[in-house]
Structures are given as C-alpha cells and as structure tokens.
Amino acid sequence: MNHIPLQRMKPTGSRVLDALLEGEGPIILDAMSGEGGGAEGYRRAGFKRILGIDTDKARLKFYPFPSIQTDALEFILEHGWRFDVNHASPTCTGYLRGTAAIPDQFERYDRLIAATREALIETGRPYVIENVADARPELRDPLMLCWSMFYEPGSVIDDDGTPLRMERHRLFESNVPLMAAGHCRHPRDIQVAGAYGGARRNKREAREIRKGGYVPPSLDVLRRLTGLDWASEKGCFLSIPPAYTEHIGRQLLDHIEASARHRPEPQVPRPRSLHTTSAGNVDVISRKIEQTE
C-alpha cells in the first residue's frame, strides 16, 4: 500500500482540518473515503461536518466534501479522537473470493481490517468499518445491508427500458449497536445488474445464456443504480450507495445524542505510529516524546 506519511500532509490539509474543527454540528471522519458514497449518506443522516481521507488523488477529485490526501491509519491515530464518529472502508480486494486462488494474494493485496480496527479503538470514539460480504470472517458481529432494503427491485430502468435491481451486500462492524433495515428481496423475474470492473456487459448474454447479472455500459444507469450521481465509473464500482450510511448515520447520531450528557472530556491520546503489512499484521510503536524539565 502506498502510504503517505502524516508529517508530509500539505499545509492546505492542515487548514482544511482546522476549519472543520472550528465549525459546529456533528463531525465524522470518512477514512479510505474513495469518491464519497458513504460520506453522502452520512450528510443525509444529519452530519454537518465531514472530512474524507484517502491516498488516491484521482478518487478524491470526485469527493464532494472537504478532503485530505494522506495516510488514513496514521491520520486516525493522530486525529481520530477529535471526531464524533470515525468511519473506515479498508480496501476489499484482498478479501474477495475472486482473489483467493492467487498465489501471492497476501503480498499483492492489502488486508487492513485488523489494523484499521486497532487504530479506531485507539481513538475511544464510535466507529464503523465497512467491507464486502467475503470479509465476514475478519469482522466482528457485522450488520449486513442490501440494495433491496432501500430500493424497489425494478425501480431503475436500463437504457433499453429493462427494469433492473442490484444485489450489493455490504457489512458494517461498529462498537455502537446497529439495527438492520429489513430483509433482502431478490426477485428472479427482474434482471439483476452489478457495478464492478472486469465484467461482461452484454445484457442478452446475461439474461438468455448465462442467466446471471451484468454491468450496464451506461454511466448514467450505473449512477442511478448506486445513487452516486456525481461519481466516475470506477467510483460506482467501488463505492457503497449513500442509502446504506444514511441508515447507519441516523443510528449513530441517536447514540451520540443519548450519550452526550454522560460523556467525559476525551483524553488527548499519546501520539502513536501504526505500521502494517499486507497480511494485516499490526506493530504499534509509540513515538518518542521529549521530556521537558
């Protein structure tokens, strides 16, 4: 993983952080943010201040909120305690069953859920970790959300008039109790569509030969399927629909409001540095703190 050391965060990034911290209203950190699908859901839920953190400058170009290009884990350890909630979406490729047969899977793809959890717990704040269904063994008692819990199957129309639906399952681990949004609905008489790279995109082949899903070639259709009307095609492939985090965000805000009167002032944590390997091993080393006399 291409880490950008926190100490190299541009001065403009520091100004962005300072400006947000001086504002009012609930504040959430969106770590490993991508193009902001999760962040938009939190905005709809009622979070007034949102900061995205990612190392990918190209993806942050589409991010609809203030953002900083820097290492997410280091930023969480340094500043996560300053946010009401910390959300993180570690890269999922290393957990997908499609990469399980690759001999050098652990060297090629990051597996950062364990490291991310350790950093989030260190903040002492409510947290959420989001990932794909194949990552379930790595997550602690996760909540599963599905596209069909928020959208009516067949409600999105393809460019040839075919009704579509999605089966986008995502898991959410949290240290705050979360409730589901209902049950999955996967009617087989409605064409299933996906949003992911490397797929064949011929609907007739999908429907009549393979009898499975396909990825619509139209970016407009992909945006309507995912609810990401600002995102690039890659953003539609990799992001979660905002409806998911809108549902979770409302519960987080209820939790914050209920516990606000009983929450003591947070202790400023001792600065720490988190080093990870692609297999997710964690080595947390306290930085030396100069003693003054």
Contact status, residue 55 vs residue 70, Cβ threshold 8 Å: yes
The answer to which of 26-30, 124-128, 163-167, 259-263 has the lowest mean pLDDT is 259-263
Amino acid sitting at position 50: I
Residue 276 belongs to what H/E stretch?
strand 272-276
Residue 98's pLDDT is 53
Largest CA distance in the chain: 78
Q: Rounded to an integer, what distance in angstroms lies between the CA atom of residue 233 and that of residue 217?
A: 9
Contacts 24+ apart (CB under 8 A), 217-224: 218/158, 218/159, 220/159, 221/156, 221/158, 221/159, 221/164, 221/193, 222/195, 224/156
Contact status, residue 201 vs residue 219, Cβ threshold 8 Å: no
The answer to which of 18-22, 24-28, 92-96, 230-234 has the lowest mean pLDDT is 92-96
Residue 94's pLDDT is 55
Of 1-15, 48-62, 106-120, give the range with the top mean pLDDT.
48-62
DSSP E strands: which ranges in 104-232?
127-132, 143-145, 156-157, 163-165, 170-174, 191-192
* pLDDT over 70, % of the chain: 75
Q: pLDDT tens for residues 126-178?
A: 999 999 999 989 999 999 999 999 999 999 999 999 999 999 999 999 999 99
Q: Mean pLDDT across the chain, nearest whole number? A: 84
Residue 283's pLDDT is 42
Banded pLDDT at 278 (limits 50, 70, 90):
very low
Token representation of residue 198: 């490397």
Highest CATH level, class, for 6-145+169-180+239-284 = alpha beta
Give the pLDDT mean for 25-46: 97
Beta-bridge mates of residue 285: 273
Beta-bridge mates of residue 130: 172
| Dihedrals phi, psi of 130, to nearest 5 degrees | -110, 140
Domain ranges of the chain: 6-145+169-180+239-284
Token representation of residue 49: 């201040």
Contact status, residue 70 vs residue 110, Cβ threshold 8 Å: no
Higher local confidence (pLDDT), 97 or 234:
234
Give the pLDDT mean for 256-274: 69
Q: Rounded to an integer, what distance in angstroms lies between the CA atom of residue 69 and that of residue 118?
A: 21
Question: What single DSSP character describes residue 214?
Answer: B
Residue 1's pLDDT is 40
Q: Rounded to an integer, what distance in angstroms lies between the CA atom of residue 121 and that of residue 252?
A: 16
